[in-house]
Structure 1
Amino acid sequence: MRLRVCGICIQNERILLINHSLYGKDTFFWSPPGGGVQFGETATEALEREFLEETGLRVKVGKLLFINEHIEAPLHAVEMFFQIDSFEGTLKTGEDPELSAEGQVIEQVQFLSWDELTQFAPNQLHRIFSMIGSLDGVFHLQNYIPGQNSGLEK
């Protein structure tokens, strides 16, 4: 079980996403920046750290928008999604310091429009994008979004 924090950062009607090769170098998966909370770290501190590591940006974390539960073997994660109120710095493709240089999974960091997102297959995007009909819709997701158990035994 893992606690993750994620940031919704929208500028000029484009959302900041990370292209991960989590499922192999020949596949990709776009999701908002974020990662695991470390012991002794607050959720907002973790999100600030993750944004800096993954995107090179220093962010001001805003309000909690919603909580998503992800249950798909081998991962069970509870994700807290926060609004990003502002950022500064130069956008870059960052690294995951927990992984070796050869094992990095961040392929690309980019602001994408809703039209660009609709060109991807559902399994190439975080599932929150299948629940909304526009980028603004992400701000209308509320409360807790239960995970979809895909074969994990209780």
Structure 2
Amino acid sequence: MNTLNPNVALYTDKVRLRVCGICIKDDKLLLVRHQATVQNKAFWMPPGGGLQFGETVEECLKREVLEETGLQVEVRRFLFVNEFKQHPLQAVELFFEVVITGGSLMTGTDPEATADQQLIEEVVFLPLEEIRELPLPDKHRVLHYLFSLDDLLGMPHHFLK
């Protein structure tokens, strides 16, 4: 039986609305590696996080990308919606194309978590070849079957199945 990483407990047993950014630069995708949750060794995904009461989706995305990566971004366009469900985690995720406008790439933090509960381990731009080499359980499902990074910019605008 797999055990839940205790640092994930803050996000469990509730449905969250997450806003995520797809940032492609020099044929590489901006990704954040999180600690293992339940059934993976690590978890790679585009930067993003939970919408807070009172903020717009655009404000949320800019805040989350800055917190996680140190980069300031401009939100370009809505790309697609994904339902993330990996018990006990569940989220509806809105993905947007973003472009860098400032800041410096760094491994950020989750302000809602204490210093000893941080999940972010690494922030990096990865080429498609390296993304493909990651084990499926260790990467977000929007990264599972890419033929090119541009696939992320042209997905159907509905829930992935």
Match of residue 31 from structure 1: 45
SS at match of 2:133: coil
The TM-score normalised by the length of structure 1 is 0.90
Between Structure 1 and Structure 2, the one with more helix by share is 2
**Code of the aligned partner of 2:159:** I
Question: Which of 1, 6, 11 is residue 25 of structure 2 equivalent to?
Answer: 11
Match of residue 78 from structure 2: 64
**Code of the aligned partner of 2:118:** Q
The runs of at least 4 consecutive aligned structure 1 residues that moved more than 2 Å come to: none
Report how far residue 42 of structure 1 moved. 0.5
Question: Which of 69, 76, 91 is residue 77 of structure 1 equivalent to?
Answer: 91
Give the direction of change, closer, same or farther, for the CA distance of 1:82–1:10 in structure 2 (3 Å limit).
same
SS at match of 2:116: coil
Residue 61 of structure 1 contacts residue 86 of structure 1 at CA under 8 Å; is this kept in 2? no
The TM-score normalised by the length of structure 2 is 0.86
- Where structure 2 has 5 or more consecutive residues not aligned to the other structure, the ranges are 1-14
Equivalenced residues, count: 146
Q: Residues 81-126 of structure 1: CA distance to partner in whole angstroms, max 9, x if unpaired?
A: 0000333111000000111111111000000000111111111111
Give the direction of change, closer, same or farther, for the CA distance of 1:131–1:145 in structure 2 (3 Å limit).
farther
Match of residue 152 from structure 2: 138
Question: Which of 109, 117, 129 is residue 95 of structure 1 equivalent to?
Answer: 109
SS at match of 2:32: strand
Question: Which of 106, 123, 126 is residue 109 of structure 1 equivalent to?
Answer: 123
Question: Which of 32, 36, 46 is residue 60 of structure 2 equivalent to?
Answer: 46
SS at match of 1:102: helix
State the superposition RMSD in angstroms: 1.5
Distance, in Å, in 2 between the alignment partners of 1:143 and 1:131 is 17
User: Bigger CA drift: 41-50 or 64-73?
Assistant: 64-73
